[in-house]
Amino acid sequence: MASVHDLIARVGVEQARKLVPSGERKLIDTAAQAMAIESRAMGITYAGFCLTALPHNPLADDAVWERQGHKVKLVITPGYLPDRTGTMQLHGVPYGSRARLIMLYLQTRAIQTGSPEVELGASMKDWLSRMGVGVGGKQYRDVKEQANRISACNLTFVWDNDRRGKAFEKDAIVKGGIQLYEHDDENQLRLWVDTVRLSDSFFQALKEHPVPVWEPAMKLIAGKSMAIDVYVWLAYRLHVLELKTPVTWAALFGQFGHSYQNLKHFKPRFTEALKMALAVYPDAEVDVSEAGVVLHPSPPPIPERKMVR
């Protein structure tokens, strides 16, 4: 794909916006923001989430989620949490961009501190704010719902090869739940309990197979769940390649197309998400063809930033 970053570097942001179709001006703006950011802040996710994904949209509350990725399958089973009265309530599978951001926070902090005990409270509030997610009104309710779903569910990663076949057993992601309190004051900091603990098996798998991502990139695509999935996939695959690697449309549809009935409708949506992911990963080299995409060996997603004119 022709790099929007090269175009911006050559002619500047405003001229680049004039040279692309009106529907792609947001792409230019996002790429320009990525090029202008000097921060090297890093996030961490588990390798399994780079090859499979949570759903984009809600499922039936009792539905089990299964997704086959490259050499790995993800299975998520919904579970129960007690409400304020102690009654067990079923919570469905986590979905969408909010769930992805909460998971990224939990994984990043666990690796940064070297502990499965993750601080919440003001830290999580501040981090979500950096990602452009507020904690008042509907956004708070969305975060609370996804936190409950993450707390209640059990998940399994089944790897195809023996070396990683037992890297993660069926277990909860977190122990004890991410307890979110109702509140009246949207400015109060203590919205969450002090800490939450990742399950031992998930924390161990995360330590063995962490994948770094560029935190500002996640902010720029924070509301686009498929772009997040494509970005972390590229972050995992590109920098370890030795040769260019084709990936067919059928394989892409199998990994990313769970919200689409057929390949015809999936292709333009994936291409759009890919462009957005590449906009925040300037050093990624990926070509789109009639057969699918071609991945080229590329630097990891936290290189030296380039300034925009």
Q: Please write the tens of the pLDDT for every residue from 6-54.
A: 999 999 999 999 999 988 999 999 999 999 998 888 999 999 999 998 9
Contact 3, 282 (CB under 8 A): yes
Arithmetic mean of pLDDT over the chain: 85
Choice between 179 and 229, residue whose per-residue pLDDT is larger: 229
SS3 (DSSP) at 82: strand
Q: What strands lie across the sheet with 195-198, from one edge to the other? A: 117-119, 195-198, 174-175
Domain extents for the chain?
4-36+224-295, 45-210
- Look at 126-130, 164-168, 209-213, 231-235 and tell me which has the smallest mean pLDDT: 164-168
Short-list 170, 177, 8, CA closest to 73: 170
pLDDT computed for residue 121 by the predictor? 65
Confidence band (pLDDT; 50, 70, 90) for 69?
A: confident
Helix (H) or strand (E) holding 278: helix 263-279
Task: Please check the confidence at residue 163 and state whether its pLDDT lies above 50.
Answer: no
- The rounded distance, in Å, linking the Cα atoms of 87 and 77 is 20
pLDDT computed for residue 100 by the predictor? 94
Distances from the Cα of 175 to the Cα of 3, 153, 170, 200, 206, angstroms: 44, 11, 13, 9, 15
DSSP state of 24: G
Q: What pTM was computed for the model?
A: 0.87
- The rounded distance, in Å, linking the Cα atoms of 226 and 215 is 17
Max Cα–Cα distance, the chain, nearest Å: 62
pLDDT computed for residue 305 by the predictor? 44
Helix (H) or strand (E) holding 50: helix 47-51
